[in-house]
Each structure stands twice: as structure tokens, then as C-alpha cells.
Amino acid sequence: MKEAIPQSNPRFAITMGDPAGIGPEITLRALTSPALPQGCDIVVIGDSNVLRHWLNIVPSWTDVRVMKNIDDFQNGGINVLDVNQIPLKDFQVGKPQAVCGRASFAYVTTAIDLCMNKKIQGMITNPISKEALHMAGIDFPGHTEILAARTGAKDFSMMFAVEKVYVVHVTTHVSLRDALDLVTRERVLAHIRLLNRTLRRLGINSPRIAVGGLNPHAGENGLFGTEEIRQIAPAVSDAVHEGISASGPFAPDTVFMRAFRGDFDGVVSMLHDHGFVALKSRDFENGVNITVGLPIIRTSVGHGTAFDIAGKGIASEKSLIAAINVAMMLWKNNSVG
């Protein structure tokens, strides 16, 4: 038997995601890809029997190795910290199920606790199903809220990165009606600060931050709504007075084009779909989700469970590999968001 090796590289955990989605498949593809970043040790947190099942879909020279504890890492093979949540007979690939919601929640909370206890240096998450969480009686709309509650973070946000453009969202997993009431001066300013701090920790010394509007044409001077006048513009002014290079509000249908053109390093988006439609349309496969404002490093793939293609052997691992690269960048810059 091989002996566990002393830890010299940073160690990251990949959570398997919803077992019925594409998470297990892209995990295997990423960890056996020549594009996998070097210089870090990766542990999968999930169910070893599920990953072994997926080896039938993703043939590989390697095997799944069950770790006795987080320090029992060995080079070669895929190291899995087995959370023992799901017998194979108890779930069906390609559909949301309560058993998978409970399992994916257990994977995430295990990784968070390992990060908080300094056993690992960060976590990279595969997609989970909000519907499966709900079916399991778990009252969280997604990863971001689980992470914030488990780590005790109060000032946090979801950031998405594509082609060196970084976007934070003032509102995320709420209905559009509820989101409108959440666009306040205080929340907008808090997200400008979060984005500015994170970009500096990513090595951008003087981040140029654009703030998107809420209404069409950013309200057109009050013709299409007054949130820009009453809430967003004052937040931008507050940020400028703090020394942050922020500007706006800009029309939400053009601000992302300007960012990709090179005018800005990051954008504060008022609504979930303003930001995500723009970014995922630009590059769906390579987008990375980063939770900022946490005391730990957490990155994620930029897509969902893709139940419709789960089990077909066609899922892409590119976003997962990109998320590992960003976690490495954050670690090297001694940044946790």
C-alpha cells in the first residue's frame, strides 16, 4: 500500500454535485484531462460508488480511491473522501430527487467545514439542483446561501468571470418582483466594494468598475423608472468618494458589451439575468462562478446540472477546469474573496 504523502501543494476539494446530473461525469473528465492545472492536490467529496459507476460512461486508465480521511492523499488515481450518501439503486440519472438533494448538500457542507478547519485550501463545486434540495426539505435556494450560512458571512455575493470580465449580482435567487425591492443604495454600494476588493486581490491594482442600471436605458432620466436616480446613482457617488473607480449607472443592455471591449474590469449587475444572460451567451463553457465575501475560497462551474444530457457521455469539463484555475489564482494571491 502506498503511504500518504506530506502536503506541499495547496489541497482543494471538488464536490461531486447532484449525483443525477453531469457533476460526476465532468469531475472524472477534468481529473483525467491533460488540461488539469498542476501544482495542487485535488480531493473529490462525494460517493465513490457513484463515481465508479460513471467510469462506465467516461472510460479512464485511472481508478477511484477511497480516502480514510482528508490527510490520506496519494498521488495517482482519483482520491475520494466518501460521504456514503447514496446506494446506486436509490437514484436515477437525469432527474431531481430528494435523495440526491440530501447527498449534494452533505458534499457541500463537508467541504465547507474542511475549509473552515484549514484542512483544505479551497473548494470547487459542481452543480446542484435547487429542486432536489427543496424535495429533500433543505431550505436553501443554492450554493451561495449555504456557504454564507455555514461560514457566517454577512457581506457576500455571487461573482461570475468570463474572459477576464468579472460581474457581481446585487440580486440572485429571488423572484423578479422581490428583486426590485432589494436594489437599494446600501446593497449596491456593498457590491461595488466587494467587487473592487476582489479584483484587487486578483491582481488588478486599479479596478475600473461599471454599475449597470435596473430599468431599460438605465431609466432614461426617470422616464422608465426612478431606481437609478434614487438608489443606484447615489451608491456610485458614495463609492467614488471612497476612492473606488466606479461609474454609471449604464444601460444594462450595453454595459457588458463595453466591458468585453475593454472599457471596464468588472460590472455590478442589478439582476441575476442581466449578468448571466450576457456572460453565458458570451462563453457558456468557460465561465466560472466565485463566491466573494467568504472567509474561504470557493469557485464553481458556471452551468447547472444539465439533467437533459446526464449519462450521455457528452458533458464538457471546461468550466470545471477553469474553476480550478481560478481557485489556484486566488490561493496564489492569498485571497479568499
Model confidence, pTM:
0.85
Q: Say if residue 192 is in the same domain as residue 311.
A: no
245 or 5, higher pLDDT: 245
Q: Please indicate, yes or no, whether residues 172 and 251 belong to a single structural domain of this protein.
A: yes
Residue 315: inside a domain, yes or no? yes
Work out the average pLDDT over 23-41.
92
Instruction: List, edge to edge, every strand of the sheet that includes 288-292.
Output: 64-66, 78-82, 41-46, 11-15, 122-125, 298-301, 288-292, 157-162, 165-169, 266-269, 209-212, 246-250
pLDDT tens-digit readout, 145-177: 999 999 999 888 888 888 889 999 999 888 999
Q: Is the CA virtual torsion 221, 224, 227, 233 positive or negative?
A: negative
- CA 24/CA 42 separation, integer angstroms: 14
Task: Give the three-state DSSP class for 167.
Answer: strand
Helices (H), 19-142: 23-31, 48-54, 98-116, 130-135
* 268 bridge partner residues: 168, 211
Q: Which residues pair with 299 in a beta bridge?
A: 124, 290
Do 10 and 123 lie in a common domain?
A: yes
In the block, cell 446530473 appears at 21
User: Do residues 268 and 234 share a domain?
Assistant: yes
Render pLDDT for 266-278 as a digit per residue (tens, 0 to 9): 999 999 999 888 8
Asked if 97 contacts 20 with a C-beta cutoff of 8 angstroms, the reply is yes
Q: What would the pLDDT profile of 271-301 be if each residue is shown by its tens digit?
A: 999 988 888 888 777 788 899 889 999 999 9
**CA 149, CA 238: separation in Å to the nearest integer?**
28
Cα–Cα dist 102/136, whole Å: 6
Per-residue pLDDT, averaged over 98-124, amounts to 96
Q: How far is CA 325 from the centre of its chain?
A: 13
Relative to beta strand 11-15, strand 64-66 is unpaired
In a domain, 289, yes or no: no
pLDDT of residue 336: 52
Total number of domains in the chain = 2
Which among 5, 83, 84 is positioned nearest to 41, based on CA atoms?
5
Q: How would DSSP label each residue in 171-232?
A: --SS-HHHHHHH--HHHHHHHHHHHHHHHHHTT-SS--EEEE-SSGGGGTTTTT-SHIIIII
Q: Count Cβ atoms within 10 A of the Cβ of residue 304 and give its class: 0-12 exposed, 13-18 middle, 19 or more buried.
A: middle
Radius of gyration of the chain (CA): 20
Can you give the CATH number for the domain in which 75 is found? 3.40.718.10
* Pair (2, 135) in one structural domain: yes
Instruction: Clarify whether residues 168 and 253 are in a common domain.
Output: yes
Question: For the segment 254-266, what is each residue's pLDDT rounded down to a tens digit?
Answer: 999 999 999 999 9
Whether 5 and 293 have beta carbons less than 8 Å apart is answered as: no
If asked whether residues 5 and 147 sit together in one domain, one would say yes
Domain range for 68 = 1-154+296-337
Residue 148 lies in a domain: yes
